[in-house]
Each structure stands twice: as structure tokens, then as C-alpha cells.
Amino acid sequence: MKRDFWIRLRSSIILMAVTVAGFYFGGLALFALLCFVSLVGIFELYRVCGIWGTAPAAAGFMGACLFLEAVWLGWDSWLLFVLFLGFILILGTYVFTFPRYSFAKAAYSLFGILYLPVMLSYLYRIREMEEGIWLVWLVFLASWGCDTMAYCTGILIGKHKMTPELSPKKTWEGAVGGVLGSALLGFLYALIVGEHLSILGQPLLFTPLLCAAGSIVSQIGDLGASAIKRSFQVKDYGSLIPGHGGILDRFDSVIVTAPILYYLLLLLQ
């Protein structure tokens, strides 16, 4: 047990260091990090779904690469079209190999593109905003912060199970504690770096609200990733991060938090 703790702690420190470096430098460093997370995540998802090594998986992987390239080139007005090309690529593969692969496998392939490169691209977009170097950390305060606060609250006072069949240890008390804890972290963050968050107008008010909103969505993302694992009866998505599992096991909540915070930030602007 003690050895497992130190393995998990060491992995957490390395993961945090790499994440901080990528988001601090931004640009190519961040984009390379997001490409790595996206493509490894797609590999993990396709493997769990049982389609890795198939034609639909290859089409999905190619579609993901096309979308990521469009993001890097700044083709914001063409991203929907590039996503459509990915869809056509998957659909064409399904059609011309029919009936070798089921419709479900084609759907898993398309889901992988939407779930990973599309969602994670919003992290890059937030970082590229004005004051983005400070705003992007709200995603992690809302997701990883919520995860930690929810766990601590659940351990202390958790009684009412939220989704007993899906995640028996998660409680409603923990969920509320995660939201309130994220809001508190957002408030403290605004106290420290509020002068760099002028784009929010009133950082002490809006930063906690953004973190609270993001934390609600992050818990849905966490449970959604767990639901996929339960559906295919696997414990973890992979073993890339010792003590944590795969990329998806660590970034499951971040994936869905980034888009909602991006659009909320646009609304506040």
C-alpha cells in the first residue's frame, strides 16, 4: 500500500510538471502536448471499445489528425468542415468494407474524434486568448480541483450514493463539496492573480462562478468515462501513468470542462 502511494505521488508530480510546462510556454509546446494526449487517448478508447487495429479505427485516427492540423493552422472557420471530412472518411470506410464492421464500430470511431481532439482543442483555444496564460488554469481548478475536493468531502461526510451501480464511492455530499471547493479555489486564485484576469471584469465574482460551473460538468465527464469502462468491463483505460491508469483516466474530467469554460469566457467578454 505504501509503495502504491509513492508510485501514485511520483506520477502526479511528473504529470503536473509536464502540464504546467506545456501551458506556461503555450504555442508549439502546448499543441504538441495536446496532440499527444488526444492521440494516445484515442488509442486507449479504441482499444477499450475493441476496434483498435481495424479500418474504422484507422479512419478515426486520420480524422483526428486532420482536425488537429486544422486547429494548429488556425482554420477556425473551417473546423466544422474538417470535422465533416472526418465523418465522411469514417462513413466511407464503413460503406466500402460493409458488412465486415458493425455500425457500432463506425460510431465508436467518430465518437473518438469528438471526445478527444475536438474537446481538448478548447484548452489550446483558451490558452491563445488574451490573458490565456492565466485563464487556462481555471479548467484544472474546476476539474482536478473538484475531483480532490469531492473525494475529501465524500470521505468525511458522504452518505447518499449518487450512482451506486456506476461509481459506488461517489456521493451527493461529495459532489456538492466538489462544486463548493472548486468555487473556493477559484476565489483564492482570483485573490492571488486577479490583476491578470481583467478580461473577467470582476475576477473575485466571476472566477468562482466559472470554476463552480466547470466543476459540475467535470463530474459528468468523470462519470461518463467510468460508464464507458463499465460498459466494456475494464478497470482502467491503460497503464501509461503508473498509479493512475491511462491518459483518459486522468484527463476524463478535463475533456468536457474545457469547452464549457471556453464558451463561458467568450460570453463574459
What is the reported pTM? 0.92
Going by the DSSP 8-state scheme, the letter that residue 63 receives in this structure is H
Q: List the pLDDT tens digit at each of the 269 positions of the chain.
A: 556 656 666 777 887 888 888 888 889 999 999 999 999 999 999 999 999 999 999 999 999 999 999 999 999 999 999 999 999 999 999 999 999 999 999 999 999 999 999 999 999 999 999 999 999 999 999 999 999 899 889 888 988 898 888 888 899 999 999 999 999 999 999 999 999 999 998 999 999 999 999 999 999 999 999 999 999 998 888 777 776 678 898 888 999 999 999 999 999 87
So where are the chain's domains? Answer: 1-128, 130-269
Backbone dihedral angles phi then psi of residue 161, each to the nearest 5 degrees? -65, 135
Assign residue 52 a region: left if phi > 0, alpha if psi is -120 to 50, beta otherwise?
A: beta
CA neighbours closer than 13 Å in the CB half-sphere of residue 72: 16
CB atoms within 10 A of CB 73: 10
In angstroms, the Cα distances linking 11 to 7, 24, 55, 158 are 6, 20, 34, 28
Name the one residue in this structure whose C-alpha cell is 483498435.
52
CA–CA separation, 212 vs 222, rounded Å?
15
Determine the pLDDT at residue 246.
83
For residue 245, the cross-strand partners are 241
Cell of 71: 486547429
Say what the pLDDT of residue 5 is: 55
Q: CA nearest 177: which of 217, 220, 216?
A: 216
